[in-house]
Amino acid sequence: MSGTKIAPAPERTAAAEGPAGTRGTKIAVVLCIVTILLAVLDSNIVSSATVPIVRDLDPVHGVDRIPWLIAAYQLAATAALPLYGKLCDSLGAKKIFIGALATFLAGSALCGMAQSMGELIAARAFQGIGGGGLMSVTMVVLRQLGAAGPKAGEDTKAKGGGSAKTKVGEGAKAKGGDKKGNIGGIIAGAGMALGPWLGGALSDHAGWRWIFYVNLPVGIAVLIAAALVVKLPAHTTRHRIDFLGAGLAAAFSTALLLVTEWGGEDYAWTSPTIVGLAAAAAVALGLFLWRQATAAEPILPLSLFGIRTMRYGFAIQGLVGVAMMGSIVYVMIYLQVVRGIAATSAGLFLVPMAIGMTVVGLVSGRLVAAGWSQKTFVVSGTVSASAALALLTTLDTDTGLWTLRGAMLLMGIGFGQLIGQLIELVQDTAPPSRLGVATTGVRFFQTLGTALGASLFGAVLSRVYAAKGPGGSTSDIARLTGTARAHALDAFVSSADVVFACATGTMVLALILATRLPGTRTKA
């Protein structure tokens, strides 16, 4: 019983330090919500503006480089994520939150000023360094504020000692658990709805550069307010930062992404470049695992993988990242390239997905708080998302648009159950002293999956189109007319269907893993 009384104390201290106590904490929560919304928006806002960007910066080869607009951001975010977790546990979440947001805003300004696809991709990578911390560090801040779920140590009586088993997700029943479900559902849904629509509207009416500039006024206001309002427990324990481990993680991620992006297109799979990169990725992974096993304070402790719930949670989140990239981006490109729909209108096709995510996020959060197992929603979510992606494989040049809307609604129902519940599941299972690395760990795998999805699916689209199309690349479609254009569009749709099929297979694998999540968990 002593463990349940001691652990919440820092949370009460944090609330008391804020201006007007509870009032200050509520303001801090609002700032966190706005920050998460910025993160969700920025991960989707580019998807409906890719065509205007390509038209302006590189009309000849730009379409083939679209995957890098996504992958550069996600790669940088992936490389930085493990380091963010350890920095939170060492220096305190508030300092890292402010630093990540400032870096993200600087990257947004550089993106808006880019004069070529190369400059934009580089700026997106810099933006991703900050963006990598926006979602994960903010979730740590919310958890410490006590608004994102059960306070560390309260989710089970076993937290003070012993190894009592509780139902998976039981921690969410504690005070605050339903709030987290509400926050996650609303933010994810709003971001999915606003991101592509806002990106399309800004690119159509103000210019695509404003999809990046729009971050600045909001972000600067949040930055100033956070510095004044957010109050978290003081960190009295200093940890050594495993910079070598972070560097090895970045090296592995970069080499792996380059293999999937360049292999078979820029270089033959058996070329010295690809073989060398693959070898470098394998060596970097091996060294990273060795470092995590031997470092005094690793950035991603291998002991976390000994917890079955976390092991499967990390893997499922990575597969979700891959599958989402195979849906949102290529649905937007399909609507604009094949159906000739303007960017603003194309973004509206994600509204059904947003509605599904919002409603299901709210409902699942409340049901988990009422005692439902989180595993139920993870399994149900993977089933729904798999069915939606399978439906997308039937798209043709004249598929009814209501079929597409239905698929997006079903996808929202699936991802709405997955995204928030997976993070909660990992947080509820993590030892309190490793909340930061566990939270950023799950984000690391999702971001790595997103980066690999962007690269792999972009390569699949280009290679299938090259085999089935009239010659040239997908960038040439806009200049074709008559029979040649019809042939090119048919080839493009067939290529997109292959992408959706790959995404479906990815989600089926996630479903298999979800069914293996334990029905109980043991104190780590």
pLDDT at position 447: 74
Tens of pLDDT, residues 453-497: 877 887 788 778 777 767 666 667 767 777 888 888 888 888 888
Residue reference for tokens 């009422």: 370
Topology of domain 2-230+297-522 in CATH is Growth Hormone; Chain: A; (1.20.1250)
Q: Give dist(CA 404, CA 166) in Å, integer.
A: 41
Q: Which sequence spans correspond to the domains of the chain?
A: 2-230+297-522, 243-296
**Residue 334 DSSP one-character state:** I
Nearest to 524 by CA among 345, 316, 307, 353: 307
Residue reference for tokens 């000023």: 113
pLDDT at position 339: 85
What stretches in the chain show pLDDT beneath 70?
Answer: 1-21, 24, 43-44, 47-48, 59-64, 146-186, 188-190, 192-194, 232-239, 264-265, 326, 343, 469, 471-475, 478, 519-524
Backbone angles phi, psi at 519, to 5 degrees: -80, -15
Residue reference for tokens 């690119």: 203
pTM: 0.72
Angle of helix 177-205 relative to helix 351-369, nearest 10 degrees, comes to 170
pLDDT at position 231: 74
